[in-house]
Copies of this chain bind each other. A is one copy, B any other.
Amino acid sequence: MTIKEIRDYLGRFFDFVELAGSEDELISAPAKIETAQKGQVSFIANEKYIKFLGSTEASLVIVHRSVCIDDFVQKRSFLKVDDPYTAFVFLLQKFATPRTIAAKGISPTAQIGEGVLIGDGVSIGAYAVIGDRCSIGSNSVIGPHVVLLHDVSVGEGSVLFPGVTLYDGVVLGQRVVIHSGSVIGADGFGFAPQKDGSYVKIPQMGIVEIGDDVEIGANVTIDRATMGSTVISRGAKIDNLVQIAHNCRIGEDTVIAAQAGISGSVTIGKKCLIGGQAGFAGHLELADRIQVAAQAGISKSFLQPGIALRGYPAQPMRDQLKYEAMLRNLVPMKDKIDRIDSEMKELKKKQENI
Query: Which A residues contact B (CB, under 8 angstroms)?
Result: 30-32, 35, 85-86, 89-90, 92-93, 95-97, 99-101, 109, 111, 125-127, 129, 131-132, 143-145, 147, 149-150, 161-163, 165, 167-168, 179-183, 186-187, 189, 191-192, 194, 197-203, 205, 213, 215, 217-219, 221, 223, 226-228, 235, 237, 239-241, 243, 245, 253, 255, 257-259, 261, 263, 270-271, 276-277, 279, 281, 294-295, 297, 312, 322-323, 326-327, 329-331, 333-334, 336-337, 340-341, 343-344, 347-348, 350-351, 354
Interchain CA distance A228-B33 in the complex, whole Å: 13
For the complex formed, measure the closest distance between the CB of A335 and the CB atoms of chain B, giving whole angstroms: 11
Give chain B residues whose Cβ lies under 8 Å from the Cβ of A281. 294
B179, A253: Cβ atoms closer than 8 Å: no
Of A194, A237, A294, A297, most buried by chain B (CB within 10 Å of CB) is A294
Do residues A218 and B186 form an inter-chain contact, with CB atoms below 8 A? yes
Given A149-B101, A180-B186, A183-B180, are A221 and B240 also a contact pair (CB < 8 Å)? yes
Interfacial chain B residues near A295, Cβ < 8 Å: 279, 297, 312
* Consensus secondary structure, chain A interface: loop
Q: Is the CB of A179 within 8 A of B168?
A: no
Identify the closest chain B residue to A346 (Cβ): B348
- Please tell me if the beta carbons of B200 and A86 are within 8 angstroms of each other in the complex: yes
**Across-interface contacts of A351 in B (CB, < 8 A):** 347, 350-351
Within the complex, the shortest CB–CB distance from A61 to chain B, in Å, comes to: 15
Check B181–A99 contact: CB distance below 8 A: no
Q: How far is the CA of A63 from the CA of B88 in the complex (A)?
A: 61
9 contacts between A and B (CB under 8 A): A35-B228, A100-B131, A100-B168, A145-B163, A181-B183, A183-B218, A186-B240, A259-B261, A329-B334
A333 interface neighbour in B144, B226, B337, Cβ under 8 Å: B337
Distance in Å: Cβ of A186 to nearest Cβ of chain B:
4
Beyond contacts A100-B150, A183-B219, A259-B259: 10 other A-B pairs, Cβ-Cβ < 8 A, are: A30-B205, A93-B203, A125-B129, A179-B183, A179-B187, A189-B258, A218-B221, A219-B221, A258-B261, A330-B330
The 8 Å CB contact of A270, one of B85, B127, B183, B197, is B197
* B111, B147, B221, B297: the one within 8 Å of A217 (CB): B221
Check A89–B253 contact: CB distance below 8 A: no
**Given that A197-B270, A205-B92, A277-B277 are contacting pairs, would A336 and B341 also be in contact in the complex, using a CB cutoff of 8 Å?**
yes
A271 touches B197 (CB 8 A): yes
- Point out the residue from B85, B99, B271, B348 that lies within 8 Å of A343, measured CB to CB: B348
Q: What's the Cα separation between A168 and B161 when bound, in Å? A: 12
Residues in B whose Cβ lies below 8 Å from that of A336 = 337, 341
Pairs A-B, 10 closest by C-beta atoms: A183-B218, A221-B240, A147-B162, A96-B203, A165-B180, A92-B203, A186-B218, A243-B258, A179-B186, A180-B183
Q: Which of B147, B194, B239, B279 contacts A86 (CB 8 A)?
A: B194
Q: A279 contacts B279, CB within 8 Å?
A: no
Structural contact, A144 and B161, CB atoms closer than 8 A: no
Nearest-CB distance from A263 to chain B (Å)? 6
How close is A243's CB to chain B, nearest CB, in angstroms? Answer: 4
